[in-house]
Structure 1
Amino acid sequence: MNYQIKASSISDQDAVLHIKQSDIDFGTTPKTAEILPNPAEMFLGAFAACMLKNVERFSEMLKFTYTKADLEVNAVRLDKPPRLDSINYTLKIHSSDKNLNTDLLKKNIEKFGTIYNTVKLSCAISGTIITIENV
């Protein structure tokens, strides 16, 4: 499988990722630092997207239902050399399904997530999966 994206920027303005039928703005200038995601946040967004895609994928394979998944991702950046040193996540799955085995779900996300596995080669990853009972 191969992937392709395009990106563009204009001098002294911000940039855009062009992926399939989506355009995703991101910040490259100081004037939008508090408004648009920066490249590190976009990177963490790809990590989060990988995890959430796998929640959906494994809900079918492991035969559990859920109404919603919330994910919070935090990272620590080092300055010299500039890189992400560690990532920590909390994944909350809203479900009352007794078939939901969070340990098995976590194991599968860690084993089969494309972005997850790419990132773990260069950065420590830790996290937890919590079930929130539907009412």
Structure 2
Amino acid sequence: MLEYGVNAERLDAHGSLASCKEAELLLDTDVDGRMDAFNPAELLLAALAGCMIKGIERVTPMLHFKLRGVEITLRGVRQDSPPKMASVEYTLTVDTDENDRRLELLHQNVMKYGTVYNTLAAGTTITGTIRRAAGKKS
């Protein structure tokens, strides 16, 4: 089994700092919010996006799938009582000349093998689509 570790420290009433390996990330932990940092819900969505892109990086060599770029747009809906992320919707856009069947195969692999994806999907409704970047053939 793999293990992960992150350390987070409150800087002041407006923010905190998370660190792991040689990286640091400013966190929006201000009750009123702040524009220069991710809040916890945004971090969750960013973790999902990172998981999906990393999954693509992992499976494209195995599938011999050629791409030029990937973009993911996510939208999370928070429920107030009890507080939780009720749903996540995403659009996964791939700049590729691969056919539609192969594009869907890539999507299936992303959903099936993503650690963060599967963790969230166990308690949150996740829906999404994969599409080809505009101007590319099908």
The normalised TM-score by structure 1 is 0.91
Q: Kindly indicate whether the alpha-carbon contact (under 8 Å) linking 2:92 and 2:129 is maintained by their aligned counterparts in 1.
A: yes
Question: Any gaps of 5 or more consecutive residues in structure 1?
Answer: none
The normalised TM-score by structure 2 is 0.89
- From the superposition, tell whether residues 34 and 64 of structure 1 become closer, same or farther in structure 2 (CA, over 3 Å): same
- From the superposition, tell whether residues 99 and 91 of structure 1 become closer, same or farther in structure 2 (CA, over 3 Å): closer
Q: Kindly indicate whether the alpha-carbon contact (under 8 Å) linking 2:66 and 2:96 is maintained by their aligned counterparts in 1.
A: yes
Displacement of 1:97 in angstroms is 3.5
- From the superposition, tell whether residues 99 and 20 of structure 1 become closer, same or farther in structure 2 (CA, over 3 Å): farther
Question: Any gaps of 5 or more consecutive residues in structure 2?
Answer: none
**Total equivalences in the alignment:** 134
Displacement of 1:58 in angstroms is 1.3
Which residue is 2:61 aligned to?
60
Which residue is 1:74 aligned to?
75
Displacement of 1:41 in angstroms is 0.3
Which residue is 1:96 aligned to?
97
- CA distance in 2 between counterparts of 1:81 and 1:24 reads 28
Which residue is 2:20 aligned to?
19
Q: Kindly indicate whether the alpha-carbon contact (under 8 Å) linking 1:64 and 1:99 is maintained by their aligned counterparts in 2.
A: no
Q: Kindly indicate whether the alpha-carbon contact (under 8 Å) linking 1:48 and 1:71 is maintained by their aligned counterparts in 2.
A: yes
Query: Which region of structure 1 is more displaced relative to structure 2, 117-126 or 24-33?
Result: 24-33
Moved over 4 A (4+): none
